Amino acid sequence: MENMKRYCIFSVVAESESMTAASKRLGMSPSAISQNISILEESLGVTLIYRSTRGFSLSEAGRVLVSEYQKMHDHFCQFKQTITDCKEHMSGSIKITASNGMAQAVLARALEDFTPKYPQLSFHIIADDELRDAINDGIDIAIRVGKLKDSNLVYRPVGQLETVLVASPKYLAQHGIPSTMEDLVEHCWLTGTACAMESRINEMLKDSKPLKFNTKIESNNIMVCLSFAIAHQGITILPRCFVNDALKCGQLVTLLEDIVWPSVEVQILTVSRVLPKKVRIVIDHLKSHFELKGQSIKSLQSS
């Protein structure tokens, strides 16, 4: 049983890629962690970690151990969850984090017909454009838009969001209406780092000369780009579901409508593949919100 504990310690070290990070996750000193790994290596008769003054790297045996331990851990968690599901009630709280735009424009609508079915369930929604530490913050579900950096979290692709090029009528009256993609370089550009549209637009041009955009506002929050567009500060490409209200009331108008702009990925992330029943049901519902009756996210969100 002591070795099982050490397998767990070693797995966390391997995932964390540093003794310092593993120390914080485990609540153990680096020296205690190192001692446990040394005892594990001695009991197995193999070297698991190559140590140096700059850090460590896994040996072949170490990589195999991490892989096999993860399989065993997942199998045990699935077994435990199967037993728990037999007595679990759909009650309690589920903590969801989503980008500000996703939380405001999509999440409430997605859960609209879910919450009446499960009145004993409550939700703690954290709107944050930075991906939080899901383990330490107790996050059950993370919803993210756009390309993500590497993470230890489990990714579940949901689909794509249609995007549109928009600006305010006042801005266009002052700066002119672009009639081609090349005209965009003459305009003030509002860009969200989550969408990173400039490089993707240049990919659409293929063999043509890359366009250099005049970026006036850049933000990690694409809702900031929306606010600046409404305030006549420039043009921007955003998911249609984020700008529908502004389009309906005339604050913004769409441009170059014959062009299909790059869509934006939507992903659900969790800390584990094995999840409590109530979390699985919420995830399934969120997926069905985007895929109901075979419809794409594009058709759902533009309605």
Give the model's pLDDT for residue 300: 38
Do 170 and 246 sit in the same domain of this protein? yes
Domain of residue 202: give its range.
163-262
- Are residues 53 and 14 part of one domain? yes
Last residue within a domain, chosen from 41, 70, 85: 85
Q: Domain end: 85, 102, 118, which one?
A: 85
Tell me: do 11 and 137 sit in the same domain.
no
Return the pLDDT at 303: 43
183 and 138 in a single domain? The answer is: no
Same domain for 112 and 59, yes or no, is: no
pLDDT digits (tens, 9 = 90+) for 140-156: 999 887 766 656 788 88
The answer to whether the CB of 297 falls within 8 A of the CB of 266 is yes
In a domain, 111, yes or no: yes
What is the per-residue pLDDT for 101?
Answer: 81
Say if residue 185 is in the same domain as residue 257.
yes
Beta strand spans in the chain (E): 49-52, 55-58, 92-98, 121-127, 141-145, 154-161, 163-167, 188-192, 214-219, 236-239, 253-255, 264-270
- pTM summary value: 0.63
Written as one letter, the residue type at 283 is: I
Q: What is the pLDDT of residue 264?
A: 81
pLDDT at 74: 81
Total domain count, the chain: 3
Per-residue pLDDT at 295: 42
Same domain, 58 and 134: no
* Separation between Cα atoms, residue 84 and residue 86, nearest integer Å: 5
Question: Which CATH number fits the domain that encloses residue 50?
Answer: 1.10.10.10
Residue 291's pLDDT is 66
Paired tokens of 29: 């000193």
For residue 168, what is the domain's CATH number? 3.40.190.10
pLDDT of residue 297: 41
Q: With respect to residue 78, please indicate whether it lies within any of the assigned structural domains.
A: yes
DSSP-derived secondary structure letter, 103: I
**pLDDT tens digits, the chain, 303 residues: what are they?**
567 788 888 888 888 877 888 888 888 888 888 888 888 888 888 898 888 777 788 889 989 988 888 888 887 877 776 766 655 567 788 999 988 888 887 888 888 888 888 888 899 999 887 777 787 888 999 988 776 665 678 888 887 788 899 999 999 999 999 998 889 889 999 987 655 667 777 777 776 777 788 888 888 788 889 999 999 999 999 988 889 999 999 999 999 999 888 888 888 989 888 888 889 889 988 888 876 533 444 443 444
Query: Is there a single domain that holds both residue 167 and residue 252?
Result: yes
Q: In whole angstroms, give the CA distance from residue 274 to residue 59.
A: 28
Vertex 97 angle, CA 95 and 102, to 5°: 130
* 121: CB partners within 8 A, 6+ apart: 90, 91, 92, 93, 94, 115, 278, 282
The upper half-sphere exposure of residue 85, i.e. CA atoms within 13 Å in the direction of its Cβ, equals: 14
* Residue 85: predicted pLDDT: 61
User: Quick one: 148 and 182 in the same domain?
Assistant: no
My answer on whether 33 and 62 are in the same domain is yes
- pLDDT on residue 219: 86
**Other Cβ atoms closer than 10 A to 65:** 20
What pLDDT shows up at residue 197?
67
| Chain centroid offset of residue 118 CA | 25
Q: Integer distance in angstroms from the first to the last C-alpha of the chain? A: 56
Q: Does residue 43 share a domain with residue 128?
A: no
232 and 168, same structural domain? yes
pLDDT at 148 (0 to 100): 67
